[in-house]
Amino acid sequence: MCPPVDDAPTTNGNATDGANGVNGHANGANGTNGSHPGFTAVETRQNPHPHMQANPYAPVGDFLSNISRFKIIESTLREGEQFANAFFDTETKIKIARALDDFGVDYIELTSPAASEQSRKDCEAICKLGLKAKILTHVRCHMDDARIAVRTHALAQVVIGTSAHLREHSHGKDMTYIKNTAIEVIEFVKSKGLEIRFSSEDSFRSDLVDLLTIYSAVDKVGVNRVGIADTVGCATPRQVYDLVRTLRGVVSCDIETHFHNDTGCAIANAYCALEAGATHVDTSVIGIGERNGITPLGGLMARMIVADRDYVKGKYKLEKLKEIEDLVAEAVQINIPFNNYITGFCAFTHKAGIHAKAILNNPSTYEIITPSDFGMSRYVHFASRLTGWNAIKSRVDQLGLQMTDAQVKAVTVKIKAMADVRPLAIDDADSIIRSFHFNLHNDVEKPLLPNMTEQEKEKFEKAQKEIAAEPEKRELDETVDKEAEVPRAKKTKTSIAA
The tens digit of pLDDT for each residue in 291-337 reads 999 999 999 999 999 999 999 999 999 999 999 999 999 999 999 99
> Which of 291, 307, 323 marks a domain boundary?
307
Q: For the domain that residue 177 is a member of, what is the CATH number?
A: 3.20.20.70
Partner residues linked to 155 by β-bridges: 136
**Residue 295 sits in the same domain as residue 398:** no
Locate the DSSP E strands across 373-437. Answer: 379-381
Q: Is 479 inside a domain boundary?
A: yes
The C-alpha torsion from 436 through 438 and 443 to 449, rounded to 10°, is -50
25 is catalytic: no
pLDDT band with cut points at 50, 70 and 90 for residue 469: low
How confident is the prediction for the chain on average, in pLDDT? 82
Which residue segment(s) compose the domain that 420 sits in? 389-496
Residue 285 shares a structural domain with residue 431: no
Residue 138 β-bridge partners: 157
* pLDDT at res. 189: 93
Residues 268, 399 within the same domain:
no
What is the pLDDT at residue 434? 86
Residues 393 and 267 in one domain: no
Q: What is the pTM of this model?
A: 0.77
On whether both 147 and 266 belong to a single domain, the answer is: yes
Which of the following is catalytic: 138, 280, 355, 381?
A: 355
Query: Helix or strand or coil: residue 369?
Result: coil
- 96 and 235 in a single domain? The answer is yes
Domain contains 223: yes
Q: Is 245 part of any domain?
A: yes
The answer to whether 322 and 34 have CB atoms below 8 angstroms apart is no
237 and 109, same domain (yes or no): yes
Tell me whether residue 375 is in a domain: no
Judge whether 454 lies within some domain: yes
Query: What 3-state DSSP class applies to 92?
Result: helix
Q: How many whole angstroms separate alpha carbon 167 and alpha carbon 213? A: 16
Q: In this structure, which amino acid lies at residue 275?
A: E
Based on the fold, state whether residues 402 and 303 are members of the same structural domain.
Answer: no
Number of domains observed in the structure of the chain: 2
Domain membership of residue 465 (yes or no) is yes
**121 within some domain:** yes
In a shared domain, residues 258 and 147: yes
* Residue 466 CB-half CA count within 13 A: 12
Quick one: 420 and 284 in the same domain?
no
Q: What is the pLDDT of residues 383-430, one digit of tens each?
A: 778 787 877 887 787 778 888 888 888 888 888 888 888 888 778 888
pLDDT, tens digit, for every residue of 28-42? Answer: 333 334 456 555 555
Whether 224 and 128 share a structural domain: yes
Asked if the structure places residue 373 within a domain, the reply is no
Final residue belonging to a domain, choices 276, 307, 338? 307
- Tell whether 242 and 126 lie within a shared domain: yes
Look at residue 416 in the predicted model and tell me its pLDDT: 84
